[in-house]
Amino acid sequence: MLRYILFIVFCFPLVVMGQDNWNQEGDLEDSQVIIEKNRKIDLPRINRDFKKVPEIKNNQSAIDVEFNSRQFVPNLNSLAPRIRVLTIQDEKLEKLYANQVKIGGGNYGASYFEGNFASKRSKDRSYGVNLFHQSFANGPIDGRNSGSGYQRVNPYGKMIFSKAVVNAEAFYERHNNYLYGYDTALYSEVDRDTLQRTFHTLGARISLEDQNENSQYHYNADMDIYQLFTNINNSEFSFDYNIENSFEINKEWTAYFNSDGYLSSLKFDVLDSARNRNLLRFKPGVKFSMENLKIGLGFNFVHENDTLVGMNKLHVYPDLNITYTPFEKLSVFGGLKGDVRANRYRDFLMENPYLDNTVEVNNTLMPFQMYGGIAGSVSNYIGYEFGFSIASVRHNFGYEAIYKESQGEIRFRTKYFNQNNTEANVYASLSTNINKLRINLRGDYFYYDVGDTQLMPFRPNFRLKFNSEYWVVNKLKIGLNAHLQGSMNNANTFVQENANYSFNIGESIPPIYDLGIKLGYQLSDRSLIFLHANNLIANKYEYYLGYPNRGFQILAGFTYSF
């Protein structure tokens, strides 16, 4: 600080002198300032005494220390939190009434029973049994001589696994009818036991259904077996199978290989010999599918040993089908295929129970069939379908009436047409489901060309079926059904001069029309009373010559679920 003061003192006179000559002009003189720093600070010397840190001696005495550890288990009081999680309560399932019985009775000595008994709701299994009985003690001709009955017992079960479903069932059926096609004016007393025709069927079925949606390979397989017995010692045994296999190549292409067929044995007591009837069908092919187009192309290989004389045993037919969906609720379909129609003795009996003791049983060949149509819906309440098919058929068959003069009744045999003939069908169907109203209507037109001088016997040229159901109020349901069928050609082997009968065999079978009504009133959620009335027109029409149907029929009863 001292040096700054000296510097100011020394320079201040010069500044003052400079201010005196401020307005004078002149030259600056050279000057030199020298500052010397010669100050020195000297401190006196001080002597310091440094000592060593004293050593700390260890205590050599030993002290024993004991440690005791105890396990501490805290006891917490039970917590009762006040926080509640808001959850949506699961909707309760409606109580399932798996068992139901239906009992009724009516005129003609009618009795009716239907029972369905099943297991409760389960995710992986179900089982039960169905029982059915319907019989008429009397019929349209000679009371008890034209009665009929049908019974069925059908236990079943299902097991559901993660990737497959197994179904199994057994059944027993009994059909009972009488050959009442005799002239009551000529035969006032007949032996009822000789007219009875009863056949029993005992069978079983097992199937395996694929449920693995993530796999590229899918399959379905089922096997059926049945044994038919009759009271005239005719019998039929059959083992049937059906296997479907498909493999998804990619999103568009799928390959498939399907197969089905049967091995059977047919025996007529009069012939006293069994006849083996076999059919094996193999159907390989591919399917192509995209957004609105599906195409299937394959072949149908059929080997069978049951065609009439002069036919090959191995048949190869095309199998083509196309479905195009231009709009969401409209589909157009068509195809071309060939096949063998398998005919069975059991099927014949179910269609016409008034057969003779022996009949011809042969398959029908269909080398060519073309079909097509459209199907769709209007909104979500009305569905429709129109279609047609035209086929070339060989060994097509109808029924032919024969007169057994010794017994005095009419029986039927199968009548085959061995030449190629044309068969056509045009149909239209309509269905509605609007609130409480349901309607189903279907009409079919049939055409058979079996030769210039022959007609297809006992086959109608058109058929119209109508079924409806409407809930008038919450507890009252009414249903209406109608059946209309065109006339049928009559084929028979009667010799009018030598036979005693009064049947009008020269005319065709007239048209058939039937009208029925169904009423149901719901007493509670578990009980219902019903009233069914059939053939309201009371027309004893004939489907088969000499076998009129029952007239007005009524059936009343109740249904209960538990």
Per-residue pLDDT tens for 279-319? 999 999 999 999 899 999 999 999 998 766 555 689 999 99
pLDDT for 504-560, tens place per residue?
676 788 899 999 999 999 999 899 999 999 999 888 888 998 899 999 999 999 999
Choose among 101, 111, 103: nearest CA to 135. 111
Three-state SS for 361-383 is: CCCEEEEEEEEEEEEEEECCCEE
With b for 16 or more beta-carbon neighbours within 10 A and e for fewer, the 463-477 pattern comes to bbebbbbeeeeeeeb
Mean per-residue pLDDT over the chain, rounded: 85
d(CA 54, CA 158): 99
Is residue 170 within 8 Å of residue 204, measured between CB atoms?
yes
| 81 phi, psi to nearest 5 deg | -65, 145
Q: Is 265 exposed, middle or buried (0-12, 13-18, 19+ CB in 10 A)?
A: middle
Sign of torsion over alpha carbons 386, 390, 395, 399: positive
Name the most confidently modeled range: 132-136, 404-408, 533-537.
132-136
CB 14 within 8 Å of CB 21:
no
Per-domain residue ranges of the chain = 289-459
**DSSP 8-state secondary structure symbol assigned to residue 108:** T
Average pLDDT over residues 486-511: 74
What are the pLDDT digits (tens) for 26-76?
Answer: 454 555 656 555 555 565 665 555 455 455 455 554 444 444 444 545 554
| Cα distances (angstroms) measured from residue 237 to each of 193, 227, 313, 362, 546 | 26, 5, 22, 16, 31
Give the Cα separation of 306 and 263 in Å (integer): 11
C-alpha dihedral sign at 13, 16, 21, 27: positive
Largest Cα–Cα separation, the chain: 182
Given the structure tokens 């109808």, which residue do they identify? Answer: 398
Confidence of residue 326 (pLDDT cuts 50, 70, 90): very high
pLDDT tens per residue across span 176-226: 999 998 887 777 778 888 899 999 999 999 999 998 888 999 999 999 999
Question: What backbone phi and psi angles, to 5 degrees, belong to 543?
Answer: -90, -40
Between CA 287 and CA 254 the distance in angstroms is 5
Return left, alpha or beta for 538; rule: phi > 0 is left, psi -120 to 50 is alpha, else beta. Answer: left
Q: What is the pLDDT of residue 454?
A: 80
Q: Identify whether the C-beta of residue 382 lies closer than 8 Å to the C-beta of residue 432.
A: yes
